[in-house]
Amino acid sequence: MAEKLSWTELRRALASRAGVSEKEANTFLNALNAQIVEALKSDKQVKVNGLGMFKLQAVAPRKSVNVATGEAITIEGYNKIAFVPEASVKELVEKVGEAYPQPLPEGKGDDRDFMHDTDPLKKLGSQAEEIVDILGELGQSPKAEEKPTPTLPEGKEEVIPEPEPVNEPEPIKEPEPEPVVEEPVREPEPIKEPEPVKEPEPVVEVKPEEPAKPEEPKKKEKKYHFVRDTLICVVILLLLLLVGYFFLRHQLSGWIESFLQGNPAPTEQVAATESTEAAVAADAEEGELTEEQVLAEFLACSEESEEQVTPEANIYEELITIEPMHEASRLTWMAKRFYGDKAYWPYLYDANKDHISNPSKIEVGTPIRVPKLTAAQKDTTIESTRIALERLRREAEAACRK
């Protein structure tokens, strides 16, 4: 309300718009004011159509206290002017100047002033349109900004998010199961597969995009969905892996056994064929048992050879240490630490099976005897050792399932 339409401006505006002289307008306005005051005095209220109602309100006398002296005084009643604007005027005025303060151009009393005066509505309307446009631009702009980028790098963007889920889970998977050498060879294969499959896709997509522009938005939407979906997939994968990790930490041995059981089979089959020759060399050391051992390998059964091998496997002449079980430790990890290979963990179980019922759930603090392994016990190229180890493994596995 910094600016005020002055009396002169009002007079001139009225004169020009109503087509009367300024003097006439002046007398009218003066008379209007005077008559309103007169009417207030006589009738106590005046209604002016198109503006509102002026009322003369009585304020009743009230009691108060002289602040300085504490004396009780009465404030005498008086009259005041109250103005109640017409409902239509009230509504018109309610939202004025809040968002868009629109000072009138400096009036000179010409028609122009009030040509301009009618503008605010239009201005508000046009501003509303502008805002709508701006909002529209804002809404579209993200799409518009990304329009140029997706066409070319689409292939890259699509490929980048995908390798992540494939690459991330593996490093986590590998340490847990701690598989025999074959595992890492198997797992990388799935990595290679998805990549070549996805790379050709973007190439196919990009080409049709250039000629057919109307299809672009749909593809972008698809792309957004695609990126979003891949992200969701990554998150879900990571969550599953985390859950799996913690599950595995507690149920490790069961898994290890399944891995170890599953894996040696192929190694044996591969090695078995090779080892027929090697077995001949081993024969020299072990003597008479060769034929039976070779048979056992081919059958993948340890039963026959058990009797011959057991004495070798079960003899632990020296102990390296007796180590209490750590919270985060496993027999496999101890085997890796002391023997250099986690595949020897069944020996640890064998040496401690008198006080370990379930090798997957060893209580923290349980003393673990770590026997010193002989060269023959460590040498898995010797068939008898391998078979003995596998037998122990099965035994331990069976203990896990109890």
**DSSP type of residue 220:** H
Q: Which of 61, 73, 85, 201 touches other proteins by CB under 8 A?
A: 85
CA distances, 218 to each of 23, 106, 199, 207, 395 (Å): 70, 53, 20, 15, 60
Give yes or no for a contact between 180 and 343, defined as CB atoms under 8 angstroms apart: yes
74 binds other proteins per the rule CB under 8 A: no
Q: Which of 89, 134, 212, 232 touches other proteins by CB under 8 A?
A: 89
* 8/269 with CB nearer other proteins: 8
41 binds other proteins per the rule CB under 8 A: yes
Planar angle of CA 207, 209, 212, nearest 5 degrees: 120
For residues 207, 213, 214, 219, the Cα torsion angle rounded to the nearest 10 degrees is 40
- Any idea how long the chain is? 402
* Residues 348-377 as x/- pattern, contact with other proteins by CB under 8 A: ------------------------------
42 binds other proteins per the rule CB under 8 A: yes
* 99/364 with CB nearer other proteins: 99
Q: How far is the CB of 85 from other proteins (least distance, A)?
A: 4
Q: Which of 22, 104, 223, 234 touches other proteins by CB under 8 A?
A: 104
117 binds other proteins per the rule CB under 8 A: yes
Closest by CA to 263, choosing from 290, 300, 308, 307, is 300
**Single-letter residue type at 163:** P
* 103/311 with CB nearer other proteins: 103
24 binds other proteins per the rule CB under 8 A: yes
Q: Which of 101, 214, 287, 311 touches other proteins by CB under 8 A?
A: 101
* 81/132 with CB nearer other proteins: 81
47 binds other proteins per the rule CB under 8 A: yes
**DSSP type of residue 110:** S
Q: Which residues contact 312 (CB under 8 A, 6 or more apart)?
A: 376, 377, 384, 385, 388
Q: Are strands 62-65 and 319-324 parallel, antiparallel or unpaired?
A: unpaired
- Size of residue set near other proteins by CB under 8 A: 66
31 binds other proteins per the rule CB under 8 A: yes
The structure tokens listed for 114 are: 């009030």
81 binds other proteins per the rule CB under 8 A: yes
Interacting positions 155-214 with other proteins (CB under 8 A): none
* 34/212 with CB nearer other proteins: 34
CA distances, 328 to each of 110, 128, 162 (Å): 92, 66, 33
* 42/69 with CB nearer other proteins: 42
121 binds other proteins per the rule CB under 8 A: yes
Q: Which of 60, 72, 74, 80 touches other proteins by CB under 8 A?
A: 80
CA distance 373 to 171: 31
Q: Which of 62, 73, 83, 319 touches other proteins by CB under 8 A?
A: 83
CA distance 282 to 381: 8
Q: How many Cβ atoms sit within 10 Å of the Cβ of residue 110?
A: 12
Question: Count of alpha carbons within 13 Å of 52, Cβ hemisphere only?
Answer: 15
109 binds other proteins per the rule CB under 8 A: no
Q: Which residues contact other proteins (rule: CB under 8 A)? A: 1, 3-7, 10, 13-14, 17-18, 20, 24-25, 27-43, 45-52, 54, 56, 78-83, 85, 89-90, 92-98, 101-104, 114, 117-118, 120-121
